[in-house]
């Protein structure tokens, strides 16, 4: 955990440095070094810089592409009057244990969207599975209990999905691999009308959308 954080932090510092002083030669290069050596060091630094920037660019391009595809799908669905369905996991490929870790929901306090302390461990386990399977992509679906208005719960469900996504991103998962959606109070797991049912229904569901194989 700590190591992962450190690594993410170090990478961020490297990118920041690389961006801040693009033309500077590597500090280890002696001033009197032959021109071809300086050029070599320069090009190594540039290559590193380029690869970090390329990764960031690839993530943002991938994200933009996914958003474009998703927007097309939304417009198409509206024309075809397609109904939404409960999120369906992409079948197969992943070990059952990994699937279970990814699918484990997290829960929220009433009218709250903050990740609870007890739910950090399940989220950390998802980070590990996602790190081990770099092609996996997931959708986080925020849900609410039946109390409160239909419309406010749609906003609250979005906030719940967003806070889990923020947690995953802070732990090194690429933004393009995680999308969020709100179901408001439209998809209760437990149809009951008591605190037991409500507690179960205030949740984020996690569904693999791509890359299970």
Partner 1 sequence: MRGGWLAAVAILAVPAGLRAQDSGSAPVGVRVGITYTPGTRPSIAVLPVAATALDSVRATLLRDLDYSDRFELLSPPPTVAMQGGAPNYPALTALGTDLAVAVVATGGVAGDVDVQLHDVRTGSVRNRLALQLPAGGEARRLAVHRAADEVVRWATGSPGVAATTILFVSDGRLWRVDPDGAGLANVPAAGRPTLSPAWSPDGRTIAYTAFVPDGRPLVLQDLASGSREVVPGTEYGVNITPEFSPDGRRLAYAHGDENGTDVYVYDVARRCCVTRLTVGRYYDNLSPTWSPDGQRLAFISSRPGSPQLYVMSADGSDQEALARFDFGSTGQSNGPEWSPDGQAVAFHREVGGVPQVFVLDLATRAVRQITGEGRNEDPTWAPDGRHLAFASTRGGVRQLWIVDLETGRLRPVAATGGARLPAWSPRRTFFSEAP
Judged by CB under 8 A, the stretch of 10-18, 100-108, 141-149, 189-197 that binds partner 1 is: 141-149
* Alpha-carbon 143 to chain mean position: 18
Contact (CB, 8 A) for 108 and 203: yes
Q: How many Cβ atoms sit within 10 Å of the Cβ of residue 144?
A: 30
How many degrees, rounded to 5, is the angle at CA 102 between CA 98 and CA 107? Answer: 145
Work out how close the CB of 103 gets to partner 1 at its nearest, in angstroms, rounded to a whole number. 19
Q: What are the C-alpha distances in Å from 74 to residues 3, 77, 206, 209?
A: 40, 5, 21, 16
Please identify, among the stretches 9-17, 26-34, 70-78, 120-128, the one whose residues bind partner 1 according to the rule CB under 8 A.
Answer: 70-78
Which part of the chain contacts partner 1 (CB under 8 A), choosing from 25-33, 89-97, 99-107, 160-168?
160-168
Nearest-Å Rg of the Cα atoms of the chain is 22
| Cross-strand partners of 139 | 179, 207
Determine the straight-line distance between the first and last CA of the chain, rounded to whole angstroms.
26
CA-wise closest residue to 168 among 145, 198, 212, 136: 136
- Here's the x/- map for partner 1, 103-122, by CB under 8 A: it reads as --------x-x---------
Q: Which of 95, 166, 193, 196 binds partner 1 (CB under 8 A)?
A: 166
If one asks whether residue 43 binds partner 1 (CB under 8 A), the answer comes out as: no
Among 38, 181, 197, 199, indicate the residue that binds partner 1 (CB under 8 A).
181
We find the least distance from the C-beta atom of residue 12 to partner 1, in angstroms, to be 19
Binding segment (CB under 8 A) for partner 1, from list 15-23, 39-47, 116-124, 158-166: 158-166
Question: Which residues lie near partner 1 (CB under 8 A)?
Answer: 67, 70-71, 73-75, 77-79, 81-85, 111, 113, 147-152, 154-159, 162, 165-166, 180-182, 186
């Amino acid at each position: 955990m700590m190591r992962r954080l450190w690594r993410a932090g170090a990478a961020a510092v490297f990118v920041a440095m690389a961006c801040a002083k693009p033309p500077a030669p590597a500090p280890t290069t002696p001033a009197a070094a032959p021109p071809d050596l300086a050029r070599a060091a320069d090009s190594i630094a540039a290559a590193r810089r380029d690869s970090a920037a390329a990764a960031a660019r690839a993530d943002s391009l991938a994200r933009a592409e996914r958003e474009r595809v998703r927007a097309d799908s939304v417009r198409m669905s509206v024309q075809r009057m397609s109904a939404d369905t409960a999120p369906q996991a992409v079948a197969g490929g992943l070990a059952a244990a990994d699937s279970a870790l990814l699918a484990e929901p997290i829960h929220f306090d009433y009218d709250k969207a903050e990740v609870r302390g007890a739910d950090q461990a399940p989220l950390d386990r998802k980070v590990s599975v996602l790190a081990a399977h770099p092609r996996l992509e997931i959708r986080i679906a925020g849900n609410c209990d039946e109390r409160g208005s239909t419309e406010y719960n749609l906003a609250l469900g979005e906030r719940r999905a967003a806070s889990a996504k923020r947690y995953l991103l802070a732990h090194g998962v690429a933004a393009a691999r995680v999308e969020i959606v709100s179901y408001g109070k439209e998809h209760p797991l437990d149809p009951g009308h008591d605190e037991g049912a409500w507690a179960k229904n205030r949740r984020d569901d996690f569904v693999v959308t791509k890359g299970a194989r």
